[in-house]
C-alpha cells in the first residue's frame, strides 16, 4: 500500500516538518558550491534553503505532486524512488529529512546513497526512529480491528533503532560519526484530524468517504485522552533518529 500525497495540503498543514529541521541543517553544515542530493525532498522547502546558501541542489521524491511543488520553487527535482537511486560518485553530501522511514527497503536506500557520494562525502539525515508515533500507530491498528469492514491494515513505516540503522550504514561501507535516537514531542497545530489526513492517507485509500470520516473520528477519539490537552493542544509522540556518516576517501 503506497502513500498518496497532496503537496498543497502538506505545505499548508505540515510546515512543522521543515521548521523543526534546524538541528539537522546545522549538522549538514552545507557550503557554497557543494553538490547536494536532497533525498525525499517533499515540497522543496529545505532544498530552497540549501540552494540559497549557494549549494548545487538536486532533489528527488517518489511523489510527483511533491516534485511539482519543488520545481515551482526553482529546484532541480525529479520523481524517483529513494530505493532505486542511480547516481555514481556525484555528490558531496546526501541530505534527508523525515523521508527515510517511508522507504521500506532501507538496505537498498543506504547502498544507493553510498554509491551516489563522492569519496569523503557525507550522509546526513533525520527520520522516524524506534518508538516513533507509537500511540498513533496503536490507535490506527485498534480502529482497524474494531472495523473489519475497513479491510486489512499494513503499516507503510520503517522506524529503526540506532543500532539497527548503524549496522546498515556500516555494512554498506560508511563510517558513522554519530547516530542518536531523540524523543521529540511535536505540537500538531493543525490538529490530529489534519495530521491523519496527510500522514495516514495510506490507511484510508480503500475506504469510501463516509468510512474515511469514521476512521479519522475514531482514531482522534482514541488518541485524545493521551495526546491532547486544553493547555497544549495536540502533541504527537515523535521519536527521531538523526545521524551523520561518511564514505571513506
pTM comes to 0.90
Per residue in 48-57, pLDDT (tens digit) is 999 999 999 9
DSSP for 76-112 reads -EEE--GGG----S-EEEEEEES-GGG-S-HHHHHHH
The dotted CATH code for 7-132+158-188+236-246 is 3.40.50.150
Predicted local confidence at residue 2, as pLDDT: 47
Q: Report domain extents, the chain.
A: 7-132+158-188+236-246
Handedness of CA 87, 6, 234, 220 (dihedral sign): negative
Per residue in 127-144, pLDDT (tens digit) is 999 999 999 999 999 999
Shortest CA distance to 99 belongs to which of 227, 205, 3?
A: 3
- CA dist 211 and 214 (Å) reads 5
CB-CB contact of 247 with 89 (8 Å): no
Cell of 249: 576517501
Counting as low any pLDDT under 50, the low residues of the chain are 1-3, 5-7, 9-18
Shortest CA distance to 205 belongs to which of 191, 215, 195, 218?
A: 215
Amino acid at each position: 500500500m503506497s502513500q498518496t500525497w497532496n503537496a498543497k495540503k502538506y505545505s499548508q498543514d505540515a510546515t512543522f516538518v521543515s521548521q523543526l529541521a534546524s538541528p539537522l541543517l546545522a549538522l549538514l553544515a552545507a557550503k557554497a558550491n557543494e553538490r547536494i542530493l536532497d533525498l525525499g525532498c517533499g515540497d522543496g522547502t529545505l532544498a530552497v534553503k540549501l540552494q540559497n546558501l549557494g549549494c548545487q541542489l538536486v532533489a528527488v521524491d517518489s511523489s510527483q505532486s511533491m516534485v511539482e511543488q519543488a520545481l515551482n520553487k526553482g529546484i532541480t527535482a525529479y520523481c524517483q524512488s529513494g530505493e532505486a537511486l542511480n547516481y555514481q560518485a556525484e555528490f558531496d553530501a546526501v541530505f534527508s529529512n523525515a523521508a527515510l522511514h517511508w522507504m521500506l527497503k532501507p538496505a537498498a536506500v543506504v547502498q544507493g546513497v553510498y554509491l551516489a557520494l563522492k569519496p569523503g562525502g557525507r550522509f546526513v539525515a533525520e527520520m522516524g526512529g524506534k518508538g516513533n508515533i507509537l500511540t498513533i500507530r496503536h490507535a490506527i491498528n485498534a480502529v482497524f480491528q474494531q472495523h473489519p469492514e475497513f479491510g486489512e491494515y499494513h503499516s507503510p513505516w520503517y522506524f529503526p533503532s540506532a543500532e539497527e540503522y548503524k549496522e546498515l550504514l556500516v555494512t554498506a561501507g560508511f563510517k558513522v560519526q554519530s547516530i542518536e535516537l531523540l524523543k521529540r514531542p511535536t505540537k500538531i497545530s493543525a490538529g490530529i484530524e489534519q495530521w491523519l489526513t496527510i500522514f495516514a492517507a495510506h490507511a484510508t485509500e480503500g475506504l469510501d468517504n463516509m468510512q474515511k470520516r469514521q476512521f479519522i473520528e475514531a482514531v482522534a477519539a482514541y488518541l485524545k485522552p493521551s495526546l491532547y490537552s486544553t493547555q497544549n493542544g495536540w502533541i504527537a509522540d515523535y521519536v527521531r533518529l538523526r545521524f551523520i556518516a561518511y564514505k571513506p576517501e
